[in-house]
Amino acid sequence: MRPRRYPYSGKKESTFVKADPELVEKLLRNTSFLERLQKKAYQFSDRLRRI
What are the CB-based long-range contacts (under 8 Å, 24+) for 28-34? none
Amino acid type, 37: L
At 25, give phi and psi (nearest 5°): -60, -45
Report domain extents, the chain. 15-50
Please give the model's pTM, rounded to 2 decimal places: 0.34
19-42 confidence digits (pLDDT tens): 788 887 887 777 777 787 788 887
- In this predicted structure, what is the pLDDT of residue 6? 59
Q: Quick one: residue 18, left, alpha or beta (phi over 0 = left, psi -120 to 50 = alpha)?
A: beta
- In this predicted structure, what is the pLDDT of residue 5? 62
